[in-house]
Amino acid sequence: MAEVHTMTALLDVHVPSKRFGDRRVLDNFSLTLEAGEIVSLVGASGCGKSTLLRIVAGLDREHDGTVTLKGQPQHGVSRDIGVIFQEPRLLPWLTVAQNVGFDADAARARDPHVFTLLEEVGLSQVADALPKALSGGMAQRVAIARGLFNRPPLLLLDEPFSAVDAFTRIRLQELLLAIAREHDTTLLLVTHDVDEAAWLSDRVIVMGGGRVLDEVTITEQRPRSRRSPALTEARNRILEILEGAHVL
Ligand SMILES: Nc1ncnc2c1ncn2[C@@H]1O[C@H](COP(=O)(O)OP(=O)(O)OP(=O)(O)O)[C@@H](O)[C@H]1O
Ligand SMILES: [Mg+2]
């Protein structure tokens, strides 16, 4: 007889309401992520995507919602949740390796794990360089390595590639996917790029007015061709939902 397993989701978020002054930014927002999923959030500027990510990251606690990771209610920032922002936010006086291991004490910036991560993102040659010597794409790769330093089961990314050129962006998407697989990391990614969302994700959540409008599931196997008809279909469906909500 088959055993019955009760699956606990990796992440459960429910925010009945989040306000900035009189303005209600999140309105009955709920999201559940299973371990290993890659999920994107798309929606118009100002619809509450970054606010939601900051709540999940524990960076904003002024709300009446709950964030549960592996069944544990979260209260504030946690090493189990990594965050990558739009800009790399490196400390200019620290070397690349020190920036990656920054969360540890100074001695652990020499941690072999730092060098493994730098190798994975293709930056072992510049471990001792200062951030000012890096291109935008390289700096964002440092931020990816830093986001993975604590081996978080969940990595949040807020428009991580929007400041780099189109070719670098494609390479970083491939790198992110490979690394997420290698480290068993679940990804929750905010992006304005509907093609990026479709290519990377298992599910795309379309937000509007602080709530979930709809979601699109993408079952296409990986590795995925960027020209696959299934991805075109997913992208069109996302655009249709946004248009239906008069966001486009
Ligand atoms: N600290 C804050 N104080 C007051 N209002 C804020 C604050 N942060 C965000 N807001 C407002 O909350 C709303 C949602 O902002 P948020 O940054 O979550 O949007 P977003 O979906 O990430 O937009 P974008 O796509 O432009 O990044 C906006 O109207 C914004 O002006
Ligand atoms: Mg934002």
pLDDT in tens, 218-241: 999 999 999 999 999 999 999 999
Q: What was the pLDDT predicted at 6?
A: 60
| Pocket of ligand 1 contains residue 109 by CB under 6 Å | no
Range 11-247: architecture per CATH: 3-Layer(aba) Sandwich (3.40)
68: β partners: 12, 73
Give the number of the atom of ligand 1 that is nearest the alpha carbon of residue 54: 18
| Percent of the residues in the chain that have a pLDDT greater than 90, as a whole number | 89
**Whose alpha carbon is nearest atom 18 of ligand 1?**
48
Residue 110 pLDDT exceeds 80: no
**pLDDT beyond 80 at 65:** yes
Instruction: Read off the tokens for 41.
Output: 């959030």
Residues above pLDDT 70, as percent of the chain? 94
- Stretch (H or E) spanning 212: strand 211-217
pLDDT at 3: 54
pLDDT tens digits along 143-194:
999 999 999 999 999 999 998 999 999 999 999 999 999 999 999 999 999 9
Q: Is the CB of 191 under 6 A from ligand 1?
A: no
Does any ligand 1 atom lie closer than 6 A to the CB of residue 207? no
Residue in 96, 52, 93, 89 with CA at minimum distance from that of residue 163: 89
Q: Cα 12 to chain center, whole Å?
A: 15
pLDDT for residue 216 is more than 80: yes
Smallest-distance ligand from the CA of 207:
1
The pLDDT of residue 247 = 74
What pLDDT digit, counting tens, does each position of 82-91 carry?
Answer: 999 999 999 9
32: Cβ–Cβ under 8 A, 6 or more apart, which residues? 9, 11, 12, 13
Does 79 have pLDDT greater than 70?
yes
How would you classify the pairing of strands 203-208 and 211-217? antiparallel
Indicate the pairing of strand 66-69 with strand 72-73. antiparallel
For the cut 60, the answer to whether the pLDDT of residue 205 exceeds it is: yes
What's residue 108's pLDDT? 60
Q: Hey, which bits of 34-170 come out as E strands?
A: 38-42, 66-69, 72-73, 81-84, 154-158
Residue bearing the CA closest to ligand 1, atom 12: 25
d(CA 124, CA 223): 26
Confidence of residue 53 (pLDDT cuts 50, 70, 90): very high
The answer on pLDDT for 109 being more than 90 is: no
> What pLDDT does residue 243 have?
93
Closest by Cα among 233, 239, 192, 190 to 214: 239
Residue 41 CB less than 6 A away from ligand 1: no
CA of 90 to the centre of ligand 2 (A): 19
45 lines ligand 1 (CB under 6 A): yes
In the predicted structure, residue 72 carries a pLDDT above the cut 60: yes
| Burial bucket for residue 104 (CB in 10 Å: 0-12, 13-18, 19+) | middle
